[in-house]
Structure 1
Amino acid sequence: MASPQRIVAILCFVLAIVLSLLSDQAQAAVMSIDYGAEWFKVGLIKPGIPLDVALNKDSKRKTQAVVTIRDEQRLYGSDAVALSGRFPHLTYSNLKSIIAKPFDDRHCVEYRHRFSNNMSPHPDRNSVLFKHNEETELSVEELIAYQFQNARDQAKATAGEDVKDVVITVTPFATQYERQAILDAAELAGLNVLSLIHDETAVALNYAISREFTTTPEYHIFYDMGAGSTVASLVSFSIVEQKEGKKTRKVPQLEVKAVGFDRTLGGHEFDVRLQNLLVDKFNEKNPTLDVRQSGNAMTRLLKEANRVKQILSANTETTASLESLYQDVDFKTKVTRAELEHLCADLLERVPNPIAAALKASDMKVEDIKSLVLVGGSVRIPAVQKGLGAVVGTQKIAKNVNGDEAAVLGAAFRGASLSKQFRLTKQIVIKDITVFPIEVIYHPEDEHLGRQPIHTTLFNEFGSIGTRKIMTFKRQSDFEFDVKYGKPVDEQDVETDLDQIAKVRITGLTEAMEKYKEDIQSAEQPPKVRVSIELSNSGLLSVPEASLSFQAKDSGSSFSDKVKSFFGSKEEETQSEEETAKETVQADQNQTESEKGEKKTEEEEKPKPKEPTLKKIPLNVEFIGAGPVAMSNEEKLIARQRIQALDTLDEKRRLREESRNNLESFVYRIQDFLYDDTVGIVSTEEQQEHLREQLSETSDWLYDDGETADTKEYIDRLRKLQSLERPITFRRQEYLQRGDNIKRVDSSVQLARVFVENILTNTPEEERYHTKEELETVLNHANKVDAWKVEKVSAQEKRDHHLDPIFTTVDVNKQCRELDEALMKLMKKKKPKVTKKQAPKNETTEEQEEVVVDNGKKEGEDEPVKSDQGQQQESSEEEHRKHDEL
């Protein structure tokens, strides 16, 4: 049996581990990624760190959504953009526009015309791949995962710890496949997605954080024109009552009423128009050349077009200039704002359309809107603001949010509200919507009779997300149904594969009907199949469960034994009042998923044969994605292995660069160090010259053979130089600190002597509470340290400075520490308490004279008197107090 001491030790160890884990959890951070077509931003919130944007390695608050992969090295942001002109086929940008799109989709066709990457159709998933080289093909999800990894690194550098929990923004018109692709990319990047959130909903959430509202709703439109698309989201803000158990409290609520959007109206379209203008001007000046034949030149022109567009937002004209654009021909031309607006006239006409669509869907007018909040980089274009002012009036255009960062900050706040690591003082209720209706298509069981497929709208256009609905079928055998968007998701209203969401297959029904045939036949009502269909807060559709239910007469334990292995959810569903021969759909938004864990008595559990009970038998659900299907587990495994290999190479490269930088900085530092006058005192000319030669040789090697050296060579050379430098540095440091070390020894010795001598001089021997042996021990220790100092200093003065010192800081620290500890032990010794005895009343003895007769004065008595011995004791206590203070 373990001893009590051992048990206590084990409990303390376990408690330390638990506290450590709790501490780690308490420090957990949450990040957000506002992933756009041209830029991405990273938000971060952590205990002790306020909600803010994480900086990238260039100390910028946003990063270009570009990745270049060259020589098995991934470069991001500005580094990737810098190489895009030289290696356009190895640089991947604007990936958001083609995520989860088929190869023949118009967006993919345009991408192939504008960029030089080698795109090919995916053989199995109805999406696209990039042929990076002869051996490697990359999916869009994997390329986005690289950028998510870069975002995670930014959050890690800011938080000082690894960050995995994330909320990612998506457009409200993102389809099931696009949302799933973002989730797959985040999974490959090692992130745990708490939720997806619509861009404009995140902006509205950030808007609501610092504002107060009333019970009367106020309406705002958040107009977001980014690089790839434009969205107008109409949002209401108000105070609503929320029940928390038996209590009710008032909380702010954000409710999205309607959304209007234009998938292709964005800053990138303006860039492409301007790029084409520059191309035409170059070809006009050089009739024999066609710059479109060069992918490098076209990439550089697109980059220049973006720069020119930004300048024209603040100026009426500027100059585009590129050296050696094509065939060693320089290019320079003037571009005016009027030219840009003329080129983009059709785009500018589309600017008000999302606002009109949102107002129409919500059955509201401009007068009902309090403000139009501008978001996104492209709203800075003067012509865009002019068009918006013409629709809502300039007085309603608001610029009271940070258009670049509001979405990422709102998403981070959303992450904090979903994480268990935070307790927010301000809770905001969010009610978001889906912009596409979702319908279920199924065939009646008697389809052979010629009946047409039945279309049932399950989630209406602009219906709430984060809800679950129940479909009820009257079926006798296994069946399947299709789920699709109720209207084309393509902006041209053309039906495509993107409209299909999934095929749902329900199995196990035929077997269950046969197995429980007798029980079903005795039921008062025909059996029903209930299928739960859920639209999550991330906007993803799923079918979590299906079950066969019927009212059966409980005949005792026999039935329970039959269905014991089939029982699943005990969730009760509200029955439809109208029962017909056709399948019906019903929504149960107030259903509960919690179960009471109360134990039943034997009487309650005893079956009642005559009373019918609802029996539920779970069925198998197979959710088969249609359209551009998600990545398979095998494809994810291959991508993870490739990511892991690249991560390993990145780490090796980082270590190599770090070791090279350490060696290079060491060479420069020590070369300057040798010019110090003190170095000449503590080292010989031969030692200095030898070190200079080694430094010079290493410097030459760094810029010659050292360019291709590996990490080990850098480390070995650094260690060799350090073996020559450290003895000199050590002697120099000791030489400079010697005077302070002597003073420190003298101070410790003096303090010990003064303390002991003060007690011996001022305190009578009979009143001391330190023994003579204790005082002599400390005094002898002080004398010993002093003698040690005299000996070492004397020997040091006779020793050459270029030799290792005898009187060192390490020895001084040891001697002083031991003496100080002995003195502190003596000083901390407490005076023993003196017990005072009070004499009995009406008695006068010799013992009575040793203490105070009375502590207070009684009526008719003289002042209390102290004896000579009492006064002597008080004086002794005062001396001891002074000694303790010393």
Structure 2
Amino acid sequence: MSVVGVDLGTLNTVIAVARNRGVDVITNEVSNRATPSLVGFGPKSRYVGEAAKNQEVSNLKNTVSSFNRLAGRSLNDPDVQIEKDFVSAPLVDINGQVGAEVTYLGKKEKFTATQIVAMFLTKIKATASAELKLPVSDVVMSCPVWYTDAQRRAILDAAEIAGLKCLRLINDTTATALGYGITKLDLPGPEEKPRRVVFVDIGHSNYTASVVEFKKGELAVKSTAWDRHFGGRYIDKALVDHFAKEFKEKYKIDINENAKARFRVVAGVEKIKKILSANTMAPLNIESVMNDIDVRGMLKREELEELIKPMLDRTTGPIEQALADAKLKPEDIDTIELTGGCTRVPALKSAIQNFFGKQLSFTLNQDEAVARGCAFSCAILSPVFRVRDFSVHDMVSYPIEFTWEKSEDIPDEDTSLTVFNKGNVMPSTKILTFYRKHPFDLEAKYAKPEMLPGKTNPWIGRFSVKGVKEDGKGDFMICKLKARLNVHGVLNVESGYYVEETEVEEPIPEPPKEDKKDGDAMDVDSKEPKEPPKMRKVKKQQRKGDLPLSAGTASLDQSTKDALMEKENQMIMEDKLVADTEHQKNELESFIYELKDKIIGVYAEFASDDEKSKLSAKLDAIEDWLYDEGEDATKAQYVAKMDDIRSIAGPIIQRYNDKIEEERQAVLKKQQEAAAAKQAEIERRKREEEAKKQAEAPAESKDAEMTDAETTKPDEVEEPSS
């Protein structure tokens, strides 16, 4: 089973996987560690990721970007209107949701932002599966902390349509904090003062600051603040507007009138921005930007900082807000960790460092920290991996209240209650109690709509409680509802049940004994019988049965999701057929060129003149067809043309292969004979050595016998003289 984390970014998406006792960032089909967050539509198939990036400039009206900022929103939302500056495809309303109208397979199609996210996640799933050589299902994905319930549900629906099971939808900075804390072995203990870290994440379109407290084995998010319209793309926009004005004066062209020209300038200023992060000056050179005019420009870092001064003036805003919400001061913070590509801008780093008055920390990979944190979270939630225990306490971003109709039987009843306050720990469960005689409905909504992004509808969901009736005595039924804000940050009323109050007797607890003083007599067992404990009657609630619930939320209903899954699978098959057809076409083209070369080369001696002329004529005819009407043929036609060529070339190729095989067998036979001769030589030498040893053996034994005889002969005794 795979354990995958996905940082679903506005500009790029990063995929990380837990393996080899750590976390690796995996590369896509062109070996890049980040995949462009783009989905394009063409006359034959879709283009996703790198493929969409490659054809973006020539297919602007059919390429959708920033879809993670569109999901779960409506077209009339002011935030979506801002996105029109950055999304080249036309945005439209689709049953209350924002979507894009594109030309796909030669006709106009409308896709919701949720569908487009699902298309992109399908590609991410395929990329991860190809790298891991395993099917991918379980993932943890990141999202901005300011996402509402509707936006979170849209991303979860998109994951399901793509065939993914999202174990957790985690806030960006929470994922970064998890990746930071889980690897630290020097965190303070439970009784010690926590380590306070501010995580500042400035990416392509978002700026988030979170205050997080760490103790051994846990993290707690204390506060989070954000600026939804602060990041790299706003720097790019300021630069494009600057050069548009310069080119209008200098070259008398208006790039704002030509979408492709403006896009080329956007690509150029992205490079300038990166160069100016490390240099004081950078050039801009674009050939044939429009009307065959080449343009040149130059920008200094000071000029860039002046152009983005309105943005720089807001640099410390989210940090100040986060510290205020956490009731902390800059000096209370131990570490300031910066992540996100935009934190490479020197002016931003200086402003943040001056605010805290201490060195900034860059121990995390700025582009990959979120994805790594997601992979760690997925490993924790997966039963496959053993991970160091580490609990994550996130927080509620917006207060949520429940409202309901007043009961006729309770005239002074309140009709609303804020159940989850901003700053509460998430995930969290609350039990709501109602006294009712009839079925009733309640609604969940955000208590302070002015805090929500753009003009988001504060409505979250409507929940109907069935099966409510008065009891046998005509009294109220006591209804208990379990409301849960889950790990995704999504609110649901998960279950309902009713209870009955019954009187039960229980012993009255004895008051605690006073502590004995020095000199008190020791306790002794009394032989007098103990008095029975005093009892009291108390009312206790006992669960008697479940209450059926029905819910209406921003999530897609199951039948809609099933239909979208079927449509997505159909588009996947169409994309695969197009890819296979293109592959077959390339195979045919390569085969023609290969045979044209070999028929006058290695195949020449294996074909008669008649065969050569037939094959050459066939190759010429099919080549002409390939570059004419065969340019847009079906896979079956390419296969048929390949078979036509093989019908003539097959016998020639077979003769060549037979000759090669014959030569190979001859070489093999020679090698075997040489090996056998070598083995025979070894055996002969071995026999000669054994024969030589045997010839020398008798002489040695004779000498040995003589020596033994001399040794064992009895000593001669000399006769004494007379």
TM-score (norm 1): 0.67
Whether the 8 Å CA contact 1:206–1:407 is kept in 2: the answer is yes
| 2:201 counterpart SS class | strand
- Hey, what does 1:219 align to over in structure 2? 196
2:102 is aligned to 132
Task: Name which of 70, 80, 92 aligns with 1:108.
Answer: 80
Look up the equivalent residue of 1:538 and give its one-letter code: H
1: CA distance, partners of 2:61 / 2:345? 30
- In the other structure, the counterpart of 1:246 is none
* Partner residue in 1 for 2:422: 461
Structure 2 distance, partners of 1:752, 1:321, is: 73
Match of 2:542 among 602, 614, 634: 614
Contact 2:497 2:543 in 1 (8 A): no
Q: Tell me by how many angstroms 1:686 deviates.
A: 6.6
Distance 1:285 1:755 in 2: 89
Shift of 1:743: 4.3
What residue in structure 1 maps to residue 517 of structure 2? none
1:787 corresponding residue in structure 2: none
**Conserved? CA contact 1:87–1:296, under 8 Å:** no
With over 3 angstroms needed to count, the CA separation of the structure-2 counterparts of 1:281 and 1:749, relative to structure 1, is closer
Which residue number in structure 2 is paired with residue 77 of structure 1?
49
Shift of 1:340: 2.2
Note if 1:537 corresponds to 2:487.
yes
Q: 2:478 aligns with which of 528, 549, 558?
A: 528
Q: Give the match's secondary structure for 2:448.
A: coil
Structure 1 distance, partners of 2:300, 2:563, is 50
Distance in 1, matches of 2:595 and 2:44, equals 35
- Which aligned pairs between 1:351-750 and structure 2 lie closer than 5 A? 351-393=315-357, 395-424=358-387, 426-446=388-408, 449=411, 453-488=414-449, 490=451, 496-510=455-469, 513=470, 516-518=471-473, 527-552=477-502, 614-625=542-553, 629-670=554-595, 698-699=622-623, 701-719=625-643, 720-721=645-646, 723-743=650-670, 746=673
Compared CA separation, residues 530 and 301, structure 1 to 2 (3 A): same
The corresponding residue for 2:227 is 262
Partners of 1:689 and 1:738 lie apart in 2 by: 32
Q: Is the 8 A contact 1:682 1:732 kept in 2?
A: no
Q: Does 1:30 align with 2:7?
A: no
SS of match in other structure, 2:438: coil
Q: Would the aligned equivalents of 2:235 and 2:308 in 1 still touch at CA under 8 Å?
A: yes
Cα deviation, 1:586-618, whole Å, max 9, x if unaligned, reads xxxxxxxxxxxxxxxxxxxxxxxx998724221
In 2: Cα distance, 1:448 partner to 1:328 partner: 78
1:90 matched to 2:62: yes
User: Counterpart of 1:8?
Assistant: none
Aligned to 1:57: 29
Task: Determine the C-alpha separation between the residues in 2 that align with 1:751 and 1:296.
Answer: 74
3-state DSSP class of the match of 2:547? Answer: strand
Q: Which residue of 1 aligns with 2:249?
A: 284
Show the counterpart of 2:524.
none
Q: Quote the offset at 1:550 in angstroms.
A: 0.8
Q: Counterpart of 1:517 in 2: which secondary structure?
A: coil
Corresponding residue number in structure 1 for 2:142? 169
Distance 1:309 1:752 in 2: 73
- Measured against aligned partners, the alpha-carbon deviations of 1:61-107 in whole angstroms (never above 9, x if no partner) come to 10111111011421123432343333322111112222212222111
Provide the C-alpha distance between the structure 2 equivalents of 1:382 and 1:749, rounded to a whole number of angstroms.
75
CA offsets per residue over residues 419-455 of structure 1, 9 Å max, x none? 222233x232222222222222334424995x58544
The equivalent of 1:798 in structure 2 is: none
- Measure, in 2, the Cα distance between the counterparts of 1:537 and 1:114: 31
Please report how far the alpha carbon of residue 131 of structure 1 lies from its aligned counterpart in structure 2 after TM superposition: 2.4
Higher helix proportion, which one?
1
Deviations 1:88-144 (A, max 9, x none): 221111122222122221111122345443322233xx3213222564211001111
Query: 2:426 corresponds to which letter in structure 1?
Result: I
CA root-mean-square deviation: 3.5
Where does structure 1 lack aligned partners over 5 or more consecutive residues?
A: 1-27, 240-251, 555-609, 758-886
Distance 2:5 2:149 in 1: 21
Cα distance change on mapping 1:455 and 1:551 into 2, 3 Å: closer
Structure (1 or 2) with the greater strand fraction: 2
Task: Output the CA distance in 2 between the equivalents of 1:50 and 1:692.
Answer: 58
Summarize the Cα distance change of 1:667–1:440 in structure 2 as closer, same or farther, 3 Å threshold: same
TM-score, reference length from structure 2: 0.81
In 1, the alpha carbon distance for the partners of 2:159 and 2:604 equals: 59
Distance 1:401 1:613, change over 3 A: closer
Residue in 2 aligned with 1:851? Answer: none
Q: Secondary structure at the match of 1:308?
A: helix
Structure 2: how far apart are the matches of 1:49 and 1:159? 15
Q: Contact 1:527–1:549 (CA<8 Å) still a contact in 2?
A: yes
Q: Identity of aligned pairs, percent?
A: 25
Q: Give how far 1:670 is off.
A: 4.9
Work out whether residues 97 and 228 of structure 1, in 8 Å CA contact, stay in contact via their aligned partners in 2: no
Offset from partner CA, 1:377-426 (integer Å, 9 cap, x none): 11111111111111123x430111111111112211211221222233x2
Q: Decide whether the 8 Å contact of 1:115 with 1:295 is kept in 2.
A: no
**Using a 3 Å threshold, how does the CA distance of structure 1 residues 115 and 163 change in structure 2: closer, same or farther?**
closer
1:783 counterpart residue number: none
Residue number among 126, 129, 134 corresponding to 1:156 in the alignment: 129
Task: After superposition, give the CA deviation of every residue in 1:264-299 in whole Å (9 maximum; x if it has no partner).
Answer: 112122222222222222333355x64433333333
1:345 corresponds to which of 306, 309, 322: 309
- Counterpart secondary structure, 1:183: helix
Q: CA deviation at 1:667?
A: 4.1
User: For each residue in 1:540-587, what CA deviation from the matched residue of structure 2 results, as whole angstroms up to 9, or x when unmatched?
Assistant: 111011112112589xxxxxxxxxxxxxxxxxxxxxxxxxxxxxxxxx
CA distance in 1, matches of 2:27, 2:497: 50
On the 8 A contact 2:501/2:539 being kept in 1, the answer is no
CA distance in 1 between partners of 2:112 and 2:76 (Å): 16
Question: CA offsets, 1:209-229, max 9 Å, x none?
Answer: 432123132121111001111
Q: What residue in structure 2 maps to residue 601 of structure 1?
A: none
In the alignment, which residue of structure 1 is the partner of 2:158? 185
Higher mean C-alpha deviation, range 722-731 or range 60-69: 722-731
Q: Which amino acid aligns with 1:103?
A: L
CA distance in 1, matches of 2:674, 2:619: 42
d(CA) in 1 for partners of 2:237, 2:630: 44
Work out the CA distance in 2 between the residues paired with 1:314 and 1:697.
58
- In structure 1, distance between residues paired with 2:418 and 2:136: 40
Q: Is the 8 A contact 1:317 1:335 kept in 2?
A: yes
Matches within 5 A, 1:309-324: 309-324=273-288
AA partner of residue 165 (structure 1): D
What amino acid is the match of 2:572?
D
Post-superposition CA distance 1:502-542 (Å, at most 9, x none): 222222213xx2xx424x76xxxx64211100111111111
3-state SS, counterpart of residue 43 of structure 1: strand
1:49–1:731 CA distance, 2 compared to 1 (3 A): farther
Instruction: Describe the shift of the 1:736–1:196 C-alpha distance in structure 2 as closer, same or farther (beyond 3 A).
Output: same
Higher RCO (C-alpha under 8 Å, 6+ residues apart):
2
- How far residue 158 of structure 1 moved from its aligned partner, in angstroms, is 0.3
Mark the runs of 5 or more structure 2 residues left unpaired by the alignment: 505-537, 685-722
